[in-house]
Amino acid sequence: MKKISYILGVAAFAVAGLSSCTLDAVNYTEKDTSNFPLTAEDADQALAGIYQNLNVPNATPQASFYYVAQLAGDDALGGGGENDILMQAEDLMMISTLNMTEQFWIDRYQGINRANSLLDGINNIALSESEKNQIAGEAKFLRAFYFYELSSMYGNVPLVTSSSAAQPIQPTAAELWGQILQDLYEAASTMPATRRTDGHVDKYTASAMLARAWLYYTGMYGNGEELKDLVSTTYNPLQSVALPNGETLTKQQVITLVDEAVNNSGYSLVPDFRCLWAYTNRFTVEDFDYTKGQNLKWAEDDNAINPESMFAVKFNKQASWSTTIGYANGYALHFGVRGTAVFPFGAGWGAGPVAMNLVNDWKNYEPNDKRRDATIQDMSKLSGFSVGGGGDYMQESGFYGMKLSPVEAIKDDGTISVCFENLMYPGGWDVAGAENMQLNNIHDMVLIRFADLLLMQSELKENTEGINKVRARAGLNPISAYSLQALQNERRWELAMEGIRWNDIRRWHIAADALDKQQGIDIYNKGIATKNTAHGGGYRARYNATAGFQKIPENQVDLSEGGIVQNPGWEGADSQYTGW
Amino acid sequence: MNQTFRKTALMVGAFSLLGMCYSPKAYAADAVQNVQQATKKITGTVVDAQGPVIGASVMEKGTSNGTVTDFDGKFSLNVKPGATIVISFIGYKAQEIAVGNQSSFNITMQDDNAVLDEVVVVGYGVQKKKLVTGATIEVKGEDIANRNTISPLSALQNQSPGVNIVAASGKPGDGFKVNIRGAGTNGNTTPLYVVDGVVGDINSVNPADIERIDVLKDAASSAIYGARAANGVILITTKQGKAGKVTVNYDGNIGWSNLVKVPKQLNAKEYMDIMDMTRVNDGGSPHSWENFIDADLLEAYRNGSNPGTNWLELLRNKNAVTTSHSLNITGGSEYSKFSTGIGYQYQDGIIGGDLAKSDYSRFTLRLNSEHVIAKSSKGRDIITFGENVYYSHNQQQGIGIGNMYWNAIYTMLHNSPLIPVYNKDGELFDYDDLIAQGIHTDQYPNGMLSLNQYYGNAINTVTHSSLANNRSRYHNLNATGYITISPLNGLTYKGLVYYKNYSSVWKGYDMTYRNNDNDQNVNDMLSENMGTGWNWGMTHTLNYVFDIKSHHIDVLAGTEYSREGNGMGDNLGAQVSGNVFKDMFNYAYPANFSGRDGSATLPYNNNLPATDHSILSYFGRLNYDFAEKYMFSAILRADGSSNFAKGHRWGIFPSFSAGWVVSNEKFMESASSWLSFLKIRGSWGQNGNEGIGAFKYSATYSFGPYGNYSFNNAKDVGAQGAYPERLSNEDITWETSEQLDLGFDARFLGGKLALNFDYYVKKTKDLLLDVPVSAINGFAYVMDNAGTIKNSGIEVALNWNDNIGKDFTYNIGWNIATNKNEVTEVNNGSRYINGGENLLSQGTTYMARFEEGHPLGYFWGYKTEGVMQNEADVQAYLDKNCKGDANNSLQGTSIAPGDLKFVDTNGDGIITSDDKVELGDPHPDVTMGINLGLNYKGLDFSVSGYAALGQQVAHSYRRFGDSQYDNWSTNVYNYWHGEGTGNGRYPILKPGTSTNMIQVSDIYVDDADYFRLQTLTLGYDVTKLFKSFPLQQLRVYFQAQNLFTITKYDGMEPEQGNSIANESWVTGTDISNYPQPRTFLVGVNVKF
């Protein structure tokens, strides 16, 4: 009997055991499309996920459009150390590696996919009509913004507007930009007429972005879509654009929305231009010779709402090497002073030194412009910095951009804090803690300012209205009549070193001439005085070979199985930068 | 009979529930024969040279009547008149004795040198070795234990042809990279380790606890483990109890380890000369060193009275102690057997020393026992119960040796010799000291840092960061219980249930220090991760063995289920700053951090459950042989995995094998004088792999750290975001490894010479790859069944065992294996996958590829044809490769003598990345093992060696892409410095960002063939000196490990198993891996 009970035991055990033999695993950490997104809260979460893509390129800013726009443009050189051949390559419209900017391609399509996922599911979410318009408008805005950057960078990138898997096929520019403009137009015309100050974009931001996209597309492609049309020096902008929904978007519709945004949005200019920039923050302003004693107050001190900021990337203290460092402002780090910090400007990788041609042009055209000293730091005027001091710094010009730079502050005990944010937002720093020059730059990176909207209004309406408001803030006399030249100059000064100029010179068809001015200017390489010499045939040749479009990452071309054709100008030896 | 029947009924019931096929008819056909005829009782004693043989089988020939010998080797049996008895026991020659009129027998067993009746462990059972039709290797426990290694794998390395075992590094406690018959998968190539029937980890097992290791190489052998056997199976059997007197074994040793080979780095003077030359070659002028270095120190460097800092020397730990103690106690009776092992191992690192302690310790405890609950009257065990319990605790601390961003040895090797370690006050030289050096002018405001902003005291970096201040602790408990029920002869049910618990704690502590702006910690920080998980499973098998005349049939059916996670595991991590015990690693516990309520922050993903994962399997096996002459085996296994979507979960893995013992044929009898055994065998089969992690198939929304956004200027934390986690692919299913194996086993000259031969072709199909896809759908990768890898090769093992006279025995073993690895399909748009970016140096591009038509992870870059010596040479190069136009060269118009001749391999007249070719293969073409053993009376001597041939290593100990100021080894003198200088391979010395150096080319890829003398052992058994010694054995021994390595490779270590790339398939890169130590040890084996 004893044996039988053993056997019974085994049998019972076997039965009990098998009853728990399931192959269905439980996912304790994720949701799927059956239970997400269903509620307004879900929609907010999905929306945050789309916005977060604004942070993502901050992990590898050197691959991003904003960065390329800064370095490839005529106002800045490449810079960096001798190992930073990517920076120099971007300045020269060349490549340092075959997949130099692939991360950005991947990142932005991720943002687009997040927007598509929310837009696909938005009708399943319990939302009021205005909530839905706001949320859908934000998602469309961001999708359009991501495509705007991708298309400015690479030209005819595959257009994906649904979260179900698509094949990589290149559209025409008209198809691609039609979609971008349609998204922005729908966002601008359907979102509630309420200014948001919480970091969300609103109807007016969408109008401003619509204007930016309109001006770029209608200018850049005014002569046609071929390379010869794009690099032509004729400026002949389109007056209307066919949208994929069958409607036509006219310049007047854009103007109507822009006027409304200028007049009714509640956005306004910050009275003093310098108060837009972090070096006027309350922990630094009175220790910086240039700003002290003038009663300046940064528009974003202590999380104040900057009335001029229409669209900005927000950062926080959660940047972490183990997850994402994009929660910190990576551009500030990259555009910081190479080598050692020089108060009030923090240390960084020294990307994008200001090109002498900007300084000279500005002095010639607008000698009394206060914005120049507020935008460009002549390093020879700061103690503790030696221009041409050596190290491994390449394309050193002696001038740094001040708008993007990390900013230090002096603590009560007289020591220096690597980032003023440590003092303004004490405590709660994640991971590497405070006083980390790489992770503590968390002030906003403003992408659309009200001043830009004013200048676009002038450009669209070909009047002086917006220009003169901007000039007045800069302490300059109004101009009496609108001219394209005056508009171009005003945009150059007002928006210098903000990643705007690159697309401006391309759409105005003045890029090759403008870029060529960088050739032969004085620089230092590793402390040795020299000239900024031609590579790959020179700036003009490289622009005319590429129209300013980057090489599509080789991996992405290869992975498309023939769906994507490489941009012109990127196959030959003249596109390869292997070192100065 | 009644009772038996009821048992049967119960069994039928039980197994029907298990969903298994069971035929009561077959059972009835072989019902126990109750021998009721007239019989004769015989008794006897079975002994061998040492004494009684316990547990020997005594059978009446041609019947199932038999018994086993007891404690004293005695037996008694009733036999029919005229019977013949067969006495057999593993490891001895079987004897047949006609009973005749004799009723008492004294039988002396002879060792069976041919060991043909030896059994090997196969999946869920054992099989006679001579009947095995697959390709397996068995290694005895003593051959593993006597190597005195921490891990059994290093002992296995040269005894298992076809099993590629490469030490990850020489760092104490580091593991091994193992693959069987070539890397068959992009991901984890590690074979399945089965410890006492349960999937486990070999590295935590003390070699002294191992009874034997069986390696199942071909698909047919491992097919019974279908689910996870794609990489082959290694079965580890720990020591089990034996009936008889309690024996106690103690093995203890102590040894001293040292670093063998160090690159000769430049001293301060040489360094300055080379830096000057680099700068001059780059168009500058020599450095004015006085700007950066104080005059007296500079003078001392220049006149040689101060050679500068030899950084690695500071971390060198001379005569690092290693010690091991193992105690095994075995014993038991006919009814109850046990085996207990306790072990402790400690190994101190050869690099680290007092500054950066790097060591490993392990404690193991094993409790195995088996109890017979019911025995038949014939002595057969009807019900047995047993358990295996294994607990291990190990601790590893020490220097980081990963990629260039995390490698203490690298940090030492590339640091400038100009930087002193200590300042005048005897404190670590830091930022203040660096900027205090030299002449301070506006142009050089920062002293030494004016030369190079990355300069710093490497000892500061290492000792103040978690590069040295880290510790891992692991606890593993494996508990297995099993019951076997054998209701009648030949039929056995085995049920096994196991529970495993594993937990780990890792902590790393960064202290405050400042070398320069790029290398400093302003605040201290502790990072700590803890995890605990569990895994349970059960196996039921039913085995029936029977003979029909000369047909021997062995059938097995079984089911298995395992599950881990399921809400019973947790991972938790924390990071905190501000230790009250500032900069004291041993006091770095979160509770000691200031602002105890607020500053402790949990990073994202701080608490995750262990992944839920289960596998359910059904399997069956038929082994058949006819007169031990013709063998056939078939296996079918069906596995379901929770890692795949419904409808794609189940994989079916069949295998077939057959063998022919030619030497048992009549026509071979004439050859028996020289050919004692010859078996020809062949097999084909499939195995699977599902190890991709859970939910890879499904479209999910994650709430992790990559979706938050700081609305409302929330600077502390972003608003919770949600985002699609991956590109879903519901179609993914099992990866399948398919293998064909043809081989033979032969023994010659009365068994003195053994030869084993195998030829195999292994194809891993439907590789589960995180394959790059066009990123336009939001993700750059998708998990897919997207590739095929083919491995093929031959394996030969030769063993010679003989004696000269009575006292002198010797054996020589030699084995060789070849393998050709080729990726035959990459099923994505580009047909390749790039890997190894920023691997050789920061700034280098992808240098390894996973591409059709090439070995897995081959080195990809430019081929060079030497260095241009003069202008004519430059023109000749351009004419040949660049259509005569310097614009088409990689160097551009500045091309000049001293530049490398990058070859235009595609002949288009332009040097572009299209000219990049295969520069090398990290996998060896051939591996070889050599073993020699001599015994003379109590003296033993053995040597073991291992060779790996045909592989390449990509190699740089400098972060050349970052800065020209990294130190060089004396290899720098092989660089070109004028026509006819250098060794013709390396270009003009310029900053590492120059085209010649930043482009990955064959100048970084070296042959790394090597032969290593692994161990040399000399031992003597003191008991042989005395006639009556109280101990059975008292052997003292001396052993040298890694006595020498013969290689042309000029790095520290040609054996490169450390994967430092982001991609696990990128191997064979040496940026300064921790070398294998050379160890001398003395030890003692005691047995009583």
ipTM, two decimals, is 0.94
Q: How many CA atoms lie within 13 A of B385 on its CB side?
A: 8
Q: Give the number of other Cβ atoms within 10 Å of residue A342's Cβ.
A: 19
- DSSP string covering B348-413: E-SB-TTTS--EEEEEEEEEEEEEEEEE-TTS-EEEEEEEEEEEEEEEEE---BSSTTSBHHHHHH
Structure tokens at B545: 């063995």
What residues contact residue B596 under an 8 Å CB cut-off, 6+ apart? Answer: none
Asked if A327 and A421 touch (Cβ cutoff 8 Å), the reply is: no
Q: A110–B779: do the CB atoms touch at under 8 Å?
A: yes
Partner residue facing A25 (CB), from B11, B612, B910:
B612
Q: Kindly state the average pLDDT of the residues B157-177.
A: 89
Asked if B705 and A324 touch (Cβ cutoff 8 Å), the reply is: yes
The string of pLDDT tens digits covering residues B883-920 is 999 989 999 888 999 999 999 999 999 998 899 999 99
Q: Kindly state the average pLDDT of the residues B264-292.
A: 94
The string of pLDDT tens digits covering residues B968-977 is 999 999 999 9
As to burial, measured by CB atoms within 10 angstroms (0-12 exposed, 13-18 middle, 19+ buried), residue B25 is exposed
User: Best interface-test mutation with B: which of A13, A39, A96, A392 has the largest number of B CBs within 10 A?
Assistant: A392
Asked if B441 and B291 touch (Cβ cutoff 8 Å), the reply is: yes
The closest of B114, B156, B112, B153 to B137, measured between CA atoms, is: B156
Report how many Cβ contacts below 8 Å link chain A to chain B.
358
Cα distances (angstroms) measured from residue A2 to each of A8, B494, B1056: 10, 18, 58
User: Best interface-test mutation with A: which of B774, B837, B881, B906 has the largest number of A CBs within 10 A?
Assistant: B774
Which phi and psi (to 5°) does residue B275 adopt?
-65, -40
- Which residues of chain A lie closer than 8 angstroms to B601, CB-CB? 428, 430-431
CB contact B614 to A (< 8 Å) = yes
The chain B residue lying nearest A112, using CA atoms, is B778
Structure tokens at B707: 């979706």
Q: How big is chain A, counted in residues?
A: 580
Task: Band the pLDDT of B579: cuts 50, 70, 90.
Answer: confident
CB contact B613 to A (< 8 Å) = yes
The closest of B33, B841, B798 to B413, measured between CA atoms, is: B841
- Percent of chain B scoring above 90 in pLDDT: 63
Q: Please give the pLDDT value at position B243.
A: 83
The Cα A527–Cα A339 span in angstroms is 12
Backbone conformation region of residue B289, classed left if phi is above 0, alpha if psi is from -120 to 50, else beta: alpha
pLDDT in tens, chain A (580 residues): 455 555 555 555 555 555 567 888 888 888 888 889 999 999 999 999 999 999 999 999 999 999 999 999 999 999 998 889 999 999 999 999 899 999 999 999 999 999 999 999 999 999 999 999 999 999 999 999 999 999 999 999 999 999 988 999 999 999 999 999 999 999 999 999 999 999 999 999 999 999 999 999 999 999 999 999 999 999 999 999 999 999 999 999 999 999 999 999 999 999 999 999 999 999 999 999 999 999 999 999 999 999 999 999 999 988 887 678 999 999 999 999 997 889 999 999 999 999 999 999 999 999 999 999 999 999 999 988 888 876 789 999 999 999 999 999 999 999 999 999 999 998 777 545 668 888 999 999 999 999 999 999 999 999 999 999 999 999 999 999 999 999 999 999 999 999 999 999 999 999 999 999 999 999 999 888 999 998 989 999 999 999 999 999 999 999 999 999 999 999 888 898 888 8
Task: Tell me which of A203-207, A388-392, B169-173, B270-274 is least confident.
Answer: A388-392
Backbone conformation region of residue B984, classed left if phi is above 0, alpha if psi is from -120 to 50, else beta: left
CB contact B1001 to A (< 8 Å) = no
Provide the 3-class DSSP secondary structure of residue B989: coil
The string of pLDDT tens digits covering residues B102-126 is 888 888 887 665 444 678 888 888 8
Of A527 and B652, the structure prediction assigns the larger pLDDT to: B652
CA B123 to chain centre: 21
Q: Which helix (H) or strand (E) holds A25?
A: none
Helices (H) and strands (E) in chain B, counts: 14, 58
Partner residue facing B708 (CB), from A4, A21, A52:
A52
Q: B641–A428: do the CB atoms touch at under 8 Å?
A: no
The Cα A192–Cα A1 span in angstroms is 82
The crossing angle, in degrees rounded to 10, of helices B268-281 and B295-302 is 90
Tell me the H-state helices in A99-160.
Answer: 102-121, 129-154
Q: Please give the pLDDT value at position B8.
A: 39
Q: How many CA atoms lie within 13 A of B788 on its CB side?
A: 10
Q: Please give the pLDDT value at position B116.
A: 47
Residue in the block written with tokens 């519901």: B730
Task: Band the pLDDT of B1084: cuts 50, 70, 90.
Answer: very high
The Cα B834–Cα B845 span in angstroms is 10
Q: How big is chain B, counted in residues?
A: 1088
- Which residues of chain A lie closer than 8 angstroms to B446, CB-CB? 340
User: Best interface-test mutation with B: which of A58, A135, A318 has the largest number of B CBs within 10 A?
Assistant: A318
Provide the 3-class DSSP secondary structure of residue B739: strand
Q: B382–A3: do the CB atoms touch at under 8 Å?
A: yes
The chain A residue lying nearest B826, using CA atoms, is A559
- In the stretch 465-504 of chain B, residues with CB closer than 8 A to chain A read 483, 485, 493, 495, 497
Q: Please give the pLDDT value at position B484.
A: 95
pLDDT of B90 > 70? The answer is no
The closest of B27, B26, B21 to B8, measured between CA atoms, is: B27
Q: B719–A48: do the CB atoms touch at under 8 Å?
A: yes
Question: How far does A386 lie from chain B, in Å, by closest CA?
Answer: 5
The string of pLDDT tens digits covering residues B1026-1072 is 877 888 889 999 999 999 999 999 999 999 888 899 998 999 999 99
The Cα A51–Cα B120 span in angstroms is 62
Q: Kindly state the average pLDDT of the residues B978-1004.
A: 93
pLDDT of B598 > 60? The answer is no
Q: How many CA atoms lie within 13 A of B44 on its CB side?
A: 27
The Cα B1032–Cα A279 span in angstroms is 84
pLDDT of B208 > 50? The answer is yes
Asked if B107 and B178 touch (Cβ cutoff 8 Å), the reply is: no
Q: A166–B777: do the CB atoms touch at under 8 Å?
A: yes
What residues contact residue A535 under an 8 Å CB cut-off, 6+ apart? Answer: A92, A94, A577, A580, B892
- Which residues of chain B lie closer than 8 angstroms to A106, CB-CB? 775, 780
Q: B722–A113: do the CB atoms touch at under 8 Å?
A: no
The Cα A30–Cα A38 span in angstroms is 15
Question: How far does A458 lie from chain B, in Å, by closest CA?
Answer: 31
Q: Please give the pLDDT value at position B10.
A: 39
- Which residues of chain B lie closer than 8 angstroms to A558, CB-CB? 829-832
The Cα B911–Cα B894 span in angstroms is 15
The Cα A304–Cα A253 span in angstroms is 33
Question: How far does A190 lie from chain B, in Å, by closest CA?
Answer: 22
Provide the 3-class DSSP secondary structure of residue B1046: strand
The Cα B243–Cα B452 span in angstroms is 72
Asked if B355 and B381 touch (Cβ cutoff 8 Å), the reply is: no
Q: A199–B723: do the CB atoms touch at under 8 Å?
A: no
Q: Give the number of other Cβ atoms within 10 Å of residue B893's Cβ.
A: 10
The Cα B7–Cα B4 span in angstroms is 5
Edge-to-edge order in the sheet of strand B66-68: B66-68, B57-60, B84-88, B95-98
- Which residues of chain A lie closer than 8 angstroms to B492, CB-CB? none
Q: Please give the pLDDT value at position A32.
A: 86
